[in-house]
């Protein structure tokens, strides 16, 4: 089934049209990414609106939608109202979680149809991936794995976190990434105790852990991985924490399959860390689903009730963070299957000690 057909299937007595304003939903419905635009979906017809910067690309690549150019004489509101009148639309479902109050008020005052909050239904299809979506995510992760291997020889004692972040971004882009799935996290030494630390001017030194959390964007889909490496040597405590995190991740992955809840997966991994005495130092969730956005639902978090389904994709990223000392996180991406999961992250996970 085409993605557009999925959208058409949720038109019912509640709404007779959908207004797609987020980049993610427009891309999902049109199966092509345009930076700016809006789209309307009805059973009588579908239209995609964008401006002169993107109109040629839209006309060349978007099928199943009539593509129209917005300008001063024909703003979004006029073209949408034309479609509302032609297609007999009375109630438009919209993405309330992706619209500012100002944007909503403007559209509400200008459009000749009632706007109905419909975010949950519009986004309900994205959690389970189509085979072509999984292919893009595998490619994004392949680029990410390759960038990791290529950045390791570039690491030097005395380089800053910011410098290493720049090298990592370069490796991602030169290997085919269309962009970053998110701003890469590159932290070293005591800064690794901050799960989402911001790369700064701290210089890498022997005896440091370096945590790199990064992912490529490829044809609109995200990868996400984290690796923690040691510089020169690792103390006994560093090795113990690393092996505990790795054991927790392996336990979570081994338990992962369609039909279990995110909370059960989280609990399985979290128990390993708690049994090792580090329970208070694992504060975030075990994982999150991912696709066009780096963080999607459902999540593998404490008490999470969302049931994993075949072809959902989730991160597997437990961690231990000792404030003021160091932290360790290891993250892979897995695709849920009926009897387990496929790990699409291929970078080795044994503790790597860089001899530099």
As given in the structure block, the two tokens for residue 297 are 């639902």
298 prior amide bond cis, ω within 30: yes
Domains 3-122 and 131-354 share a fold: no
As given in the structure block, the two tokens for residue 126 are 């994205």
φ, ψ of residue 172 to 5 degrees: the values are -65, -50
What is the mean pLDDT of each successive set of 10 residues along the chain, which is 356 residues long? 93 95 96 96 98 98 97 97 98 97 97 97 94 97 98 98 98 98 98 97 98 97 98 98 98 98 98 98 98 95 96 98 98 98 98 95
Q: What separation, in Å, do the N-terminal and C-terminal C-alpha atoms of the chain show?
A: 52
Question: Taking the mean position of all CA atoms in its chain, how far away is CA 163?
Answer: 24
Walk across the sheet containing 216-218 and list its strands: 179-180, 216-218, 221-222
Taking the C-alpha atoms of residue 321 and residue 324, their distance in angstroms, rounded to an integer, is: 9
For 3-122, give the CATH class.
alpha beta
As given in the structure block, the two tokens for residue 328 are 């360790």
Question: Would you list the domain boundaries of the chain?
Answer: 3-122, 131-354
Taking the C-alpha atoms of residue 176 and residue 172, their distance in angstroms, rounded to an integer, is: 7
pLDDT at 275 (0 to 100): 98
State the pTM of this model: 0.94
Contact by Cβ (8 Å): 320, 282: yes
pLDDT at 1 (0 to 100): 74
Contact by Cβ (8 Å): 282, 270: yes
pLDDT at 54 (0 to 100): 98
pLDDT at 317 (0 to 100): 98
CATH 3.40.50.720 fits 131-354, yes or no: no
pLDDT at 13 (0 to 100): 85
């Amino acid at each position: 089934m085409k993605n557009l057909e999925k959208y058409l299937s949720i038109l019912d007595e509640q709404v007779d049209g959908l207004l797609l304003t987020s980049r993610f939903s427009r891309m999902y419905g049109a199966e092509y990414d345009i930076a700016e635009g809006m789209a309307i979906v009805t059973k009588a017809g579908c239209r995609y609106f964008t401006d002169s910067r993107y109109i040629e690309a839209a006309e060349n690549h978007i099928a199943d939608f009539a593509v129209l150019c917005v300008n001063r004489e024909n703003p979004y509101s006029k073209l949408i109202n034309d479609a509302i009148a032609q297609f007999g639309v009375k109630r438009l479902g919209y993405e309330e979680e992706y619209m500012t109050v100002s944007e909503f008020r403007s559209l509400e005052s200008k459009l000749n149809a009632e706007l109905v909050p419909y975010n949950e239904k519009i986004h309900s299809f994205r959690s389970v991936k189509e085979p072509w979506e999984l292919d893009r995510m595998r490619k994004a992760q392949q680029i990410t794995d390759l960038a990791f291997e290529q950045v390791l020889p570039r690491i030097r004692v005395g380089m800053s976190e910011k410098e290493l972040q720049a090298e990592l971004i370069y490796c991602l882009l030169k290997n085919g990434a269309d962009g970053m799935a998110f701003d890469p996290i590159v932290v070293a030494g005591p800064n690794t105790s901050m799960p989402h630390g911001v790369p700064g001017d701290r210089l890498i030194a022997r005896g440091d852990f370096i945590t790199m959390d990064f992912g490529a964007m490829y044809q609109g889909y995200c990868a996400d991985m984290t690796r923690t490496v040691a510089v020169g040597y690792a103390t006994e405590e560093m090795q113990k924490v690393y092996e505990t995190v790795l054991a927790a991740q392996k336990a979570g992955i081994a338990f992962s399959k369609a039909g279990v809840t995110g909370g059960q997966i989280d609990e399985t991994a979290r128990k390993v860390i708690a049994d090792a005495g580090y329970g208070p130092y694992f504060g975030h969730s075990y994982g999150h689903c991912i696709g066009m956005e780096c963080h999607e639902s459902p999540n593998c978090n404490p008490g999470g009730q969302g049931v994993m389904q075949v072809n959902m994709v989730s991160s597997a990223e437990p961690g231990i963070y000792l404030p003021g000392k160091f932290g360790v996180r290891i993250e892979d991406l897995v695709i849920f299957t009926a009897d387990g999961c496929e790990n699409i992250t291929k970078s080795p996970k044994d503790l790597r000690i860089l001899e530099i």
